[in-house]
Structure 1
Amino acid sequence: MRKYMSFLSDLEQKITEGHYGPGQKLPSVRSAAKLYGFSISTVIRAYAELEKKHAIYSVPQSGYYVVGKPEESDLTENSPIDFASALPDLNVFPYLDFQHCLNKAIDTYKSQLFTYGDEKGLEKLRYTLSSYLAGDQVFADPQQIVLTSGIQQALGILAKMPFPNGKSVILLEQPSYDIYMRFLEEEGIPVCGIARTADGIDLHELEEKFKCGGIKFFYTMSRYHNPLGTSYSAQERKTIARLAGKYDVYIVEDDYMADLSENQKFDPIYAYNRTSHVVYLKSFSKIIFPGLRLGAAVLPDSLLKTFHACKRYADTSLLSQAALEVYIKNGMYQRHKHKISSQYKERIRVLNEAVERYNEKGMIGVSNVNSGMYVQFKLPQTVNLERLIKRLAARNIRVVSGKRFYLTSYLKREKFLRISVSRAQPAQIDDGVRAIFEEVRLEVSSPHLS
């Protein structure tokens, strides 16, 4: 199965990135088997899968050819270079696979899908997720897993519900997830910030805040942080887990991009905590599609009853849950996440190579990221951020300012751009990075440029 998935993902990536262009003939079955060191049956199976997905077509007595896609011909010199979007690439959404899973789910569950269901979520999906999450060292009983209408719902409930420690302040990394920060501020929920940079977090300061800050929970993204793109080291994760138990502070670990990780040795904070002080949040939007609106919260027993009372009712589509259960169970999810992970890793590689070419004298501080989808471009203080973004927009390059990722009251801010590669096509990345450095260089040399 691993050989088949590896071969299929490699072919899909090569087609997506243009190594095999529209109308181009793929290697023959025998040639591909010899080239990759796989059996002929593995190659035939992969080609059949790609043909079913309308990515390739076969010509009798000739071979297999790549199908031309309309979007491939739309990429021109004037096409926008999108470093701003946080949404998955539309061209790799698993439409056909998920359509199959929806049909299979209806056949399997029938009338069960048209009831109100369990407020915890579809039981079979919770059991499937219990097994799946164990692969990330998140060992949870299905009864600890609650399906939510996206991670936003879980975050909202956790922010408002009382915690057993009797504390009220939510501690946030700065910078952090902008939509959640705006929600907390608008709801008037007590918050405070702690600096996190591309180099990590000050663990001594974190301990002091845990000890004296009345912290209810610490919201963190342990890997592929948004907007920095970086991940905590194993020592940082272990220390955060230990401090949580020592000072009775809960950790809300938003591992929303765990499936993009190729590091099999990355254990989340949840895996190191022995005092049941970690809530683990799992999202599917960055791998499948945001419209699925499904997330999972793994809760310690001390929070389950209150969380259920606040959630009150089953509000998550049973059909979506059933389709996701089929999608994971039959291996499609595993294959698709490998495809997405490989694609983003290649885009990050292209971006890093462009940075090496154009970042003269280290003018821009670039976070050390080799996978995931975000990279931080830390700018010189003399750069006018708003003007830079407008000048880039005039060159058809979309970027996001780092300002939005801070609490309104937080003053110790870094000046940066968040660069996302999820919608930036590989052929555009070098041009986009070069343009950013050109404009920053112009800002530095002429800070009063109108």
Structure 2
Amino acid sequence: MQKFMLIVKDLEELIVNHTFKEGDKLPSIRALANQYQVNKSTVIRALTDLERRHIVYSVDKSGYYVVKSTITPNYEEEGAVDFAASSPDSRVFPYLDFQHCVNKAIDTYKQDLFIYGTAQGLPSLLNIMQKQLANYQVFTKVRNLFVVSGVQQALSILTALPFPNGKRKILIEQPSYHLYIEHLITHGVPVIGIKRTSRGIDFGELEEIFRTEDIKFFYTMPRLHNPLGCSYSTEEKKKLVALAHKYDVYIVEDDYLADLDQDAKADPVYTYDSKSHVIYLKSYSKIIFPGLRIGIAVIPDMLISLFAQYKRIQDIDSSMLSQGALEIYLKSSMFDRHKQKIKSFYDQRSQLLYEALERQFNENKNLITFEVGRKLSLHTHIKLHDSIPANEVIRRLKRKSIWIEPIDKHYLPSFPQDNFIKLNVSHARLNGIENGITTLIHEIRHIAAVGHSKSP
């Protein structure tokens, strides 16, 4: 990373984390130059970048100060800890950069963005996406790419259209993406669940389901699963593809957190597919901002025509203005800079969560199960002893302004639920994570003590 970019990243983090608060004066140019062992022009370049994006402002003959924010998130309640929200933190949205891209897109494409486009997407954006996907080891032709209005639209279309294998049922992990579960139930789609834990899935059970049931496709989140936070190993991914080929079952891979994985060597399931049985989905919501509503779907040749037909019926095309702005954002240095910024922002929170849980786990192994050694993730979970109801823990924590979301909606209504608590640090304050986990464990211990005192 270039020196000036390192200075930009570090100062942004200090501002976001409130080490430097609104109105605070930053260290002098000379002090920063000495700290980073660079010349003053490098520091000035970094500060100019921050000033251009209205993060800091300069006062003649005085120095640089933190700009007062116009955004006041409701989760900044004093003492509150939000372990529930899973959407990206608005404090790291690239407002000004993307505003520039929108204006540039209008100027570049003019009237082309204000008329109907194609169901597949803006051609110039598809070319950029093809090159970007290669960085994730997803090698495909442009003809196989479709811009979609978020992964949800891609899942809706794939669920509705007939597949070449002629099968009808959907198989999903349990727990899984709650909005897709709601979609399947609302539309009366035949669906089967298979249990997934931090140790993965039972491949013997998976093969039996593939062999005996009428499975059209298996929907999975191999990387940093929501809500569990775990990932499949390389061997598990290869085994999954082999079973899909053997029993003519398609895999729909939701790689929604690809940009935030710390393991640069972790490839998607798509990489190991040689028979076009894996459909790859990627969202830009988590890495940029959810209101963008742009995702990408990699569709096999035999499904291209049908997918285009179903998508055209749903919405003609995805927002052309958003596509034009995203194209400019992706091919500029803005995307890479923002990606590094948001990874650092979330990695710090993930690390604090992991360390806090590891300390508590070592002291409370009889009450909770936590997999030490797992990859850091925005979200994770702890499994409770059967005598400690998760909903009671959540209820007690709410009275102390610690917010945790129940896991019920992540399961099919008929599927037995595990007794666990999911934790997400997307919106958690840095100085609240340790206290939040300490209070969580305190309440678990209290419930366990009360329960034991009532037992005969």
Q: Shorter-chain-normalised TM-score: which range?
A: over 0.9
Tell me which amino acid in the other structure corresponds to 2:444. Answer: V
**Which residue identity does 2:124 align to in structure 1?**
K
Corresponding residue for residue 352 of structure 2: 350
The Cα of 1:367 is off from its aligned counterpart by: 4.4
Helix, strand or coil at the partner of 1:414:
coil
The answer to whether structure 1 residue 177 and structure 2 residue 177 are counterparts is yes
Relative to 1, partners in 2 of residues 1:167 and 1:11: Cα closer, same or farther, differing over 3 Å? same
- Aligned residue in 2 for 1:431: 435
Q: Which amino acid aligns with 1:238?
A: K
Q: Is the 8 A contact 2:75 2:82 kept in 1?
A: no
Measured in 2, the distance between the counterparts of 1:203 and 1:289 equals 36
Q: Bigger shift: 204-213 or 194-203?
A: 204-213
The answer to whether the Cα contact below 8 Å between 2:169 and 2:189 also exists between their aligned partners in 1 is yes
Q: TM-score, normalised by structure 2?
A: 0.92
Sort the Cα spacing of 1:72 and 1:307 in 2 relative to 1 into closer, same or farther, 3 A: closer
Q: Does the C-alpha gap of structure 1 residues 272 and 358 become closer, same or farther in structure 2, counting only changes over 3 Å?
A: same
Where in structure 2 are the equivalents of 1:246-257 lying within 5 Å? 246-257=246-257
Aligned twin of 1:319? 321
Do the aligned partners of 2:228 and 2:379 also contact (CA within 8 Å) in 1?
yes
Deviation at 1:131, TM superposition (A): 0.6
2:239 aligned residue: 239
1:377 matched residue in structure 2: 382
Give CA deviations for 1:13-34 in whole Å, capped at 9, x if unaligned: 1221133344444344454345
Tell me, in whole angstroms, the C-alpha distance in 2 between the residues paired with 1:161 and 1:315.
Answer: 18
More deviation in 66-75 or 235-244? 66-75
CA distance in structure 1 between the partners assigned to 2:364 and 2:395 by the alignment: 25
Give the deviation of 1:218 after TM superposition: 0.8
Partner of 1:17: 17
Tell me the distance in 2 between the aligned counterparts of 1:73 and 1:247: 49
Instruction: Return the offset for 1:125.
Output: 0.6
Q: Which residue of 1 aligns with 2:335?
A: 333
Q: Is the 8 A contact 1:358 1:437 kept in 2?
A: yes
**Secondary structure of 1:146 counterpart:** strand
Match of 1:125 in 2: 125
Matched, 1:361 2:353: no
* Counterpart amino acid of residue 160 in structure 1: A
Does the residue aligned with 2:302 lie in a helix, a strand or coil? helix
Count of matched residue positions in the alignment of Structure 1 and Structure 2: 449
Amino acid at match of 2:327: E
1:65, distance to aligned residue in structure 2 (A): 2.9
Could you tell which deviates more after superposition, 146-155 or 4-13? Answer: 4-13
Alignment correspondent of 2:86:
86
Does structure 2 retain, via aligned residues, the 8 Å contact 1:401–1:417?
Answer: yes
User: RMSD in angstroms over aligned alpha carbons?
Assistant: 2.3
| Paired residue type of 2:203 | L
What 5-or-longer segments of structure 1 have no aligned partner? Answer: none
**8 A Cα contact 2:51 2:57, kept in partner:** yes
- Please say if residues 171 and 217 of structure 1, whose CA atoms lie closer than 8 Å, have aligned partners that are also in contact: yes
With over 3 angstroms needed to count, the CA separation of the structure-2 counterparts of 1:246 and 1:39, relative to structure 1, is farther
SS at match of 1:171: strand
Cα pair 1:259 1:337 within 8 Å, conserved: yes
Is the 1:222–1:254 contact (alpha carbons within 8 Å) kept by the matching residues of 2?
A: yes
Counterpart check, 1:444 vs 2:448: yes
What secondary structure does 1:121 align onto?
A: coil
Cα distance, 1:244 vs structure 2: 1.7
Alpha carbons 1:349, 1:370 under 8 Å: kept: no
- Cα displacement (A) at 1:37: 5.1
Is 115-124 or 13-22 further displaced after alignment? 13-22
Give the equivalent residue in structure 2 for 1:221. 221
The answer on 1:301 being equivalent to 2:301 is: yes
Q: Which amino acid aligns with 2:122?
A: L
What corresponds to 1:268 in structure 2?
A: 268
TM-score by length of 1: 0.94
